[in-house]
Amino acid sequence: MEVNQMQRSFLEYATVLFREGFLDGQFSQLQMLQDESNPDFVVEVVSLFFEDSQKLLNDLTTTLDQQNVDFKKIDAHIHQLKGSSSSIGAQRVKNACIAFRNFCDQQNLEGCMRCLQHVKQEYLLVKSKLEALLRLEQQIVAAGGAIPVLSEFS
């Protein structure tokens, strides 16, 4: 596949992700911070996000599983997850966290459990999509091409 085609695929895919709300302008911001001196910046941040999120989701699962649920702890975890998803532009995860937080405020256990499922779902979705997008990006770079700018999505 030649570079132009790869670049077009990348842009098309990115467009879909933005349109469907998986990613928002903050992701474009991260792309803007990547350059020759820091060519792996986005991959690095996104990887950190994956590690962080996985841990948080595990902790949330454990905490919700307790006899006496510690809602303060839940809130703290969601706050963190909301923050990091917001920082990388994972919009749907962030929104799912906001909904989760509301149920947590009400100490609604059932609501929280539903929300946790939803957050996990959104997380897995964005994870696979980001991995696909970044793979496309890497292919472009490997072929010597430039990564198309996503500024219109900021």
Judged by the rule CB under 8 A, the positions of this chain that interact with other proteins are 26, 29-30, 32-33, 35, 38, 41, 44-45, 48-49, 52, 76, 79-80, 82-84, 86-89, 95, 98, 101-102, 105
Sign of CA dihedral 83, 86, 90, 91: positive
What are the structure tokens assigned to 138, written together? 């890497």
What are the structure tokens assigned to 126, written together? 């964005």
Q: Looking at 47-143, which runs of residues are DSSP E strands? A: none
Q: For other proteins, which is the closer residue by CB, 7 or 123?
A: 123
Query: Would you say 23 and 29 are in contact if contact means Cβ atoms under 8 Å apart?
Result: no
Instruction: Tell me how far, at minimum, the Cβ of 122 lies from other proteins, in Å.
Output: 15
Query: Would you say 70 and 76 are in contact if contact means Cβ atoms under 8 Å apart?
Result: no
Query: 113: alpha, beta or left, given left = phi > 0 and alpha = psi -120 to 50?
Result: alpha
Instruction: Tell me how far, at minimum, the Cβ of 31 lies from other proteins, in Å.
Output: 11
Q: For other proteins, which is the closer residue by CB, 75 or 138?
A: 75
Q: For other proteins, which is the closer residue by CB, 45 or 143?
A: 45
Q: For other proteins, which is the closer residue by CB, 7 or 53?
A: 53
Instruction: Tell me how far, at minimum, the Cβ of 3 lies from other proteins, in Å.
Output: 26
